Structure 1
Amino acid sequence: MKLHKVSLAAAAAVALSLTASACGDDGGNGGAGDGEKITVGIKFDQPGIGLQTPDGKYTGFDVDVATYVAKELGYQPGDIEWKEAKSADRETLLQRGDVDFIAASYSITPERQEKVDFAGPYLLAHQDILVRADDNSITEPADLNDKKLCSVTGSTSAQNVKTELAPQAQLQEYGGYSECLTGLENQVIDAVTTDDSILAGYAAQAEFKGKFKLGGFKLSNENYGIGVEKGSELKNEINTALEKMVADGTWDKAVKANFGPANYKNEPAPKIGNIVS
């Protein structure tokens, strides 16, 4: 099981010893400069959240959060091995020890908490809709009746809207959210639904700038947490890192950088352990 974990105290000790003496003893504690790696699961296909770009780089809010956390654990960006964490695979990746932690729009739910532990939450998102910027016909969920509503195949988001809020909505299921946005842009569909953070991430992309707007409906509460193996000591260390990220302003900067172009009205940073139902 490839887990290279380092406590905050150990990381500080390593940094101190390197500063105090260029010929300090290499105690093999891991972390930056020791050639050890930390493996982090993220989404590879969600702009603004977790995206692998064509040039092999990784961008998005979850990437920024994970990079900050890893640094607080004693790892520099070059020490991070990024691993794709598809929604259906996240618990398995943690249980098998394939990753040290996962930051991948990973909502904390009672069912998932039975299998893995969560640090955080670090973002409170809501299910919402995205419409064209010039469309003023959808001002409340009921307006989705007789509208073409898009989500990805297998997602429960659109079905929830149709079942609970707009029974006459015409569901359109596409292979990915990028396809939904193309349909929205071309007026083939009227609205896209999923977490507002995911929608904002797509809408913030250069090719879509100014073309879409969020409905602001807050149809559900999605508490994003960082998943770790059940019983892992990393949970508390990651919580400490998240608290520091909020306190020093880095969290706010990451939100604005990744979601700002979509005019995403984010919730304030949640308090650690405060799960909004």
Structure 2
Amino acid sequence: MRSLGGIGGNLIAWGYALIILGPMVWILSNSFKRQIDILMGTTIAPFTLINYQQIINSRQSQFLWNLWNSAVVSVISTLLVLVIATVAAFTVARLQPPRWVTFILLGWALVFHMLPTLTFVGSWYVMFTQAGLHGTYTALILAQVVHGLPMALFLMIGFVMNIPNELVQAARLDGCTYAQVFRHLILPLSLGGMAAAGALAFISAWSDFAIALNLSNKETMTAPVAIATFAQEHQILYGQMAAASMLSMIPALAFIMFGQRFVVRGLLAGAVK
């Protein structure tokens, strides 16, 4: 029975891996094919780098600039999310504010995280347009901060609460202010949580489509929106779309590999005592 269970578990694991990796392998193979080979459905086609050359070296392509836009928005919004979430988590977990403050804060974070992003995009569009910020980095960054903050807040609260309260009390008895406790105690012990929250916030901002589609313009267009533009009115540039998709995956995969163990630890923080 154990051997059958093991075989069944392996089959499920391999099936799940096939579902996840299958589309990626298909996109990777199409990125090295000519347009005619993709349209004809040729499985084994001559290897070519023309798709990568067109999106990188072509004067008509601005995809490298689109990647730069994604990097600017993702990095800055992730840093802001980490700062706000870490300070808020320390306040909620250690400073013990009034219960109604904690209830409103966590209730807002939970409800906001449960609602679809498209629910807020229309309001953000009107707000940033009236403020003269539509199509700017500021609009994209602020929207990404609001979008990524709830998840980061819950992760950081779990990490901060796992820090023994005796350490905080000992620091206070030694004459440390709360600012010193936060800087010299909470921050060093929360680096794992910050890595997990930062990785998730970065990936969310990097791969976002709905917010960037509505709040960006030609100069601030991010990579996901740029990839969608390869589906033109009279044709779909499958090869270039596949090549652009593979290039845009690299930063996200790097963050996943870097923060994988921290993400798992963050999701389990507080679950085991």
- Give the TM-score category using the shorter length: under 0.3
TM-score (norm 2): 0.21
TM-score (norm 1): 0.21
Q: Which of the pair is proportionally richer in helix?
A: 2
Q: Which of the pair is proportionally richer in strand?
A: 1
